[in-house]
Amino acid sequence: MAFYRYIGVSIEGKTVNGVMEADSQKGAKIKLKQKGIYATSVVEKGAADTQEKKDTLSITIGKKIKGSDIATMTRQFSTLVNASVPIVDTLEALSEQVENERLKLILKEITQKVNEGVSIANGLAPYSNIFSPLYVNMVRAGEASGKLGLVLERLAEYTEKQSILKNKIMSTMAYPILMVIVSIVIVGILFVVVIPKISIIFEDMGTALPIYTQILIAISTFTKNYILYIIGTVFVSIFLFRRYIKTPVGKQKWDQTQLKIPMLGRIIRLSAIGQFTRTLSTLYGAGVPLLEALEIVSNTVDNVVIKDVIKGAKMAVSEGKGLAVTLAASKQFPPIVTHMISVGEKTGELETMLKHISDSYEIEVETRIQTLTSLLEPAMIIMMGGTVAFIVLSILMPIMQMTSMAS
Residue 377 covered by a domain: no
**Whole-number Å distance between alpha carbons of 113 and 122:** 9
SS3 content of the chain, % helix, strand, coil (to 5): 75, 5, 15
Residue 237 covered by a domain: no
> Cβ of 382: how many Cβ atoms within 10 Å?
10
Q: What pLDDT is recorded for position 241? A: 94
Q: What pLDDT is recorded for position 63? A: 59
Q: What pLDDT is recorded for position 406? A: 57
Structural domain for 337, as ranges = 272-366
Q: What pLDDT is recorded for position 368? A: 85
Strands (DSSP E) along 45-95, which ranges? none
**For the domain that residue 136 is a member of, what is the CATH number?**
1.20.81.30
| Domains held by the chain: number | 3
Residue 19 covered by a domain: yes
Q: In this structure, are 27 and 97 located in the same domain?
A: no
Q: In this structure, are 285 and 360 located in the same domain?
A: yes
**Whole-number Å distance between alpha carbons of 30 and 16:** 16
Q: What pLDDT is recorded for position 1? A: 66
Q: In this structure, are 326 and 347 located in the same domain?
A: yes
Q: In this structure, are 103 and 29 located in the same domain?
A: no
Q: What pLDDT is recorded for position 47? A: 47
Q: What pLDDT is recorded for position 185? A: 85
Q: In this structure, are 11 and 95 located in the same domain?
A: no
Q: In this structure, are 49 and 88 located in the same domain?
A: no
3-state secondary structure of 254: helix
**For the domain that residue 39 is a member of, what is the CATH number?**
3.10.20
Residue 36 covered by a domain: yes
Q: What pLDDT is recorded for position 237? A: 95
> Cβ of 170: how many Cβ atoms within 10 Å?
10
According to DSSP, residue 7 is labeled E
Q: In this structure, are 284 and 340 located in the same domain?
A: yes
Q: In this structure, are 97 and 122 located in the same domain?
A: yes
Residue 340 covered by a domain: yes
Q: In this structure, are 54 and 71 located in the same domain?
A: no
From first to last of its 407 residues, what are the pLDDT tens digits of the chain? 677 777 777 766 666 777 777 888 888 888 888 887 877 777 776 544 444 444 444 444 455 788 788 888 888 888 888 888 888 888 888 888 888 888 888 888 888 888 878 888 888 888 878 888 778 877 887 887 777 888 888 888 878 877 777 777 777 777 778 888 888 888 888 888 888 888 787 777 666 778 888 888 888 888 888 888 988 999 999 999 999 998 989 999 999 998 888 888 888 888 888 888 888 888 787 777 888 888 888 877 778 888 899 989 899 888 888 889 889 988 889 899 999 999 998 888 888 898 899 888 888 888 888 888 788 778 888 888 888 888 888 888 877 776 666 55
> Residues near 348 by Cβ (< 8 Å), separated by ≥ 6?
none
Q: In this structure, are 40 and 88 located in the same domain?
A: no
**Whole-number Å distance between alpha carbons of 290 and 288:** 6
H/E stretch holding 28: helix 25-34
Q: Which of 60, 77, 93 is the last residue of a domain?
A: 60
> Cβ of 80: how many Cβ atoms within 10 Å?
20
Q: In this structure, are 55 and 112 located in the same domain?
A: no
Contact 241, 96 (CB under 8 A): no
Phi, psi of 64, deg, nearest 5? -60, 140
**Whole-number Å distance between alpha carbons of 222 and 209:** 18
H/E stretch holding 10: strand 2-10
β-partners of residue 8 are 16, 39
Spacing of C-alpha 325 from chain mean position: 29
According to DSSP, residue 288 is labeled -
β-partners of residue 16 are 8
**Whole-number Å distance between alpha carbons of 309 and 329:** 9
Q: Which of 122, 140, 160 is the last residue of a domain?
A: 160
Q: Which of 136, 160, 184 is the last residue of a domain?
A: 160
C-alpha distances out from residue 119 to 35, 73, 265, 348, Å:
17, 18, 42, 31
Residue 109 covered by a domain: yes
* CA-CA-CA-CA dihedral for 128, 129, 131, 134, to nearest 10: 70
C-alpha distances out from residue 264 to 103, 246, 259, 368, Å:
35, 21, 8, 9
Contact 249, 257 (CB under 8 A): no
Q: In this structure, are 286 and 334 located in the same domain?
A: yes
Residue 215 covered by a domain: no
Residue 331 covered by a domain: yes
